[in-house]
Amino acid sequence: MESTTTESCSAEEEDSSDSEVACLMRVGKKSEWLRLFGNTEVTVGRGVNVTYQLLSASCPLMISRLHCTFKKRKDDGQWTVTDKKSLNGVWVNGNRIPADEAHLLRLGDSIQLGVPVMGSKVEFDYVLVQQPLKDIKLHLAKTHKEGATAAAITESSKRKMTMEEDEPSTSKPKLYRRSSSDKSLAKACPPPLKKCQLQQSRSQPEETGSRYSSFFFPKTVCRYSQNILLLREQVDDTQRRVASLEGEDQQGDPLVRERVQELQSQLGTLRGKMHQMETLKKSFSERRWPEKTQQEEQMRQQLNDALQEQKKVIVEHALSRQAFEKILSAKNKELEATKEEKERARAQKDEVVTQMTEVLENELQCIICSELFIEAVTLNCAHSFCSYCITQWRKKKEECPICRQAITSQSRCLALDNFIERMMENLSLDVKEKRQSVINERKGERCVWEFVRFVQIFAQEVCLCC
């Protein structure tokens, strides 16, 4: 991790060592603490024009170019943090704050920049504290000059790796002139590989070896390969320049011989660096390969365990499904049995009703109207008829329609009427409606007959009076 501060911020560090200053204390480290300056806005990100430049060792894009800003409010002196639409966010006390909104901070708050990678802890984890400057001065991040120099070297190395030979450059390389009369042979000095880049490539596996997981193993090897390719290009370019100058060495120009010696010296240096880089790449690969193999084996074992667990879950679900299907089948059988019992009961009921209907029609039917007894009447000979039917019969004959015995008396049979009415409740609706229509019809005829009888009696009385 590299950190830089602006010149104005560096000047403020010259304050009294006894004064208390606000600081972001790095969790788990006694260095790279970020001092917060009250008279200016503190910017944090991986870009160049920021107060503190944070470069993630595990994930280069974890920190945005302008990740967040810290600012002290003038009214109450409280510190605020603002997320500048960063990719991985700013987390205060475990909660991500909204973008472009100033969030109030208190002493002791936890500020995390970014998210954990591969189950590890957050790389940039800070706690807001306020302590005397003399107590934390040794733990603060590097000043602007040191950080700016390192950033310039890194940026220059990146440009050198991507530039073509024929691409124009903003800086003019030093020309080694052969003579004043022949300037066409003057050539630029081949750019040597930056020491910072080589030292970073050599020291990086040693510093971060314990922290890197197998996930970043291909990236490190790729970085070594890029450095080796860059060195090979410089070696080839130097060899071409040496061959070109050696062809012109016959003229005996001491400048050319001096230049050839310098290029040969550079060529030997570049070859040594390339050999050293290949050795580092090989040693890193040999050291990292067992760890990668072991982690792959662990991942394979975890995958197998997960598959076995998934198979167990599938088997349990299948057994549960079979048990449920058995229960459902038993319930369906019970339902079918219940339906069959209901059908049998309904059939028995219909059969009983049919038998009752036959009994009523055979035994409780009036022989005159062929209907069930309506207001049953029993004669002196013990035969029963409808009251209406026997009345109409006696107008013609005074003898029993069945046995022809003389009728001397008749009486209502209420027990027979009640029995018929109770039995009618279990008969069909058509039978009930038919019986009710017959009853209504006979009531109407009885009323008419009584009215005619009344008129006849009234006429006889009138005749007697006259």
Domain 7-149 CATH assignment equals 2.60.40.2480: no
Q: What is d(CA 343, CA 349) in angstroms, rounded to the nearest whole number? A: 10
The pLDDT score that the predictor gives to residue 124 is 92
Whether the pLDDT of residue 373 is over 70: the answer is yes
The pLDDT score that the predictor gives to residue 340 is 92
How large is the average pLDDT for residues 349-364?
80
Q: What is d(CA 214, CA 233) in angstroms, rounded to the nearest whole number? A: 30
Q: Report CA torsion sign: 362, 363, 367, 373.
A: negative
The pLDDT score that the predictor gives to residue 460 is 77
The pLDDT score that the predictor gives to residue 297 is 87
Whether the pLDDT of residue 401 is over 80: the answer is yes
pLDDT in tens, 145-192: 345 544 444 444 444 444 433 333 333 333 333 333 333 333 333 444
Whether the pLDDT of residue 56 is over 50: the answer is yes
Give the residue from 288, 153, 281, 291 showing the smallest Cα distance to 229: 281
pLDDT band at 128 (very low <50, low <70, confident <90, very high): very high
Task: Answer with the residue of higher pLDDT: 241 or 8.
Answer: 241
Q: Where are the domains positioned within the chain?
A: 7-149, 376-465
The pLDDT score that the predictor gives to residue 247 is 67
pLDDT band at 220 (very low <50, low <70, confident <90, very high): low
- What percent of the chain shows pLDDT beyond 70? 75
The pLDDT score that the predictor gives to residue 91 is 95
The pLDDT score that the predictor gives to residue 187 is 38
Q: How far apart are the first and last CA of the chain?
A: 146
How large is the average pLDDT for residues 411-428?
85
The pLDDT score that the predictor gives to residue 113 is 94
The pLDDT score that the predictor gives to residue 420 is 85
- What is the SS3 assignment for 232? helix
Beta bridge partners of 112: 91, 125
The pLDDT score that the predictor gives to residue 295 is 82
pLDDT band at 208 (very low <50, low <70, confident <90, very high): very low
Task: Answer with the residue of higher pLDDT: 375 or 293.
Answer: 375
Whether the pLDDT of residue 61 is over 60: the answer is yes
Task: Answer with the residue of higher pLDDT: 290 or 430.
Answer: 430
The number of residues making up the chain comes to 466
Whether the pLDDT of residue 428 is over 80: the answer is no
Q: What is d(CA 316, CA 322) in angstroms, rounded to the nearest whole number? A: 10
Whether the pLDDT of residue 283 is over 80: the answer is no
Whether the pLDDT of residue 237 is over 70: the answer is yes
Q: Could you say which architecture CATH assigns to the domain 376-465?
A: 2-Layer Sandwich (3.30)
Which tokens in the block code for residue 413? 């049979």
pLDDT band at 322 (very low <50, low <70, confident <90, very high): very high
How large is the average pLDDT for residues 294-323?
90
Any residues with CB less than 8 A from the CB of 178 and at least 6 apart, and which? 185, 186, 248, 253, 255, 256
How large is the average pLDDT for residues 16-36?
85
The pLDDT score that the predictor gives to residue 190 is 41
> What mean pLDDT value characterizes the chain?
76
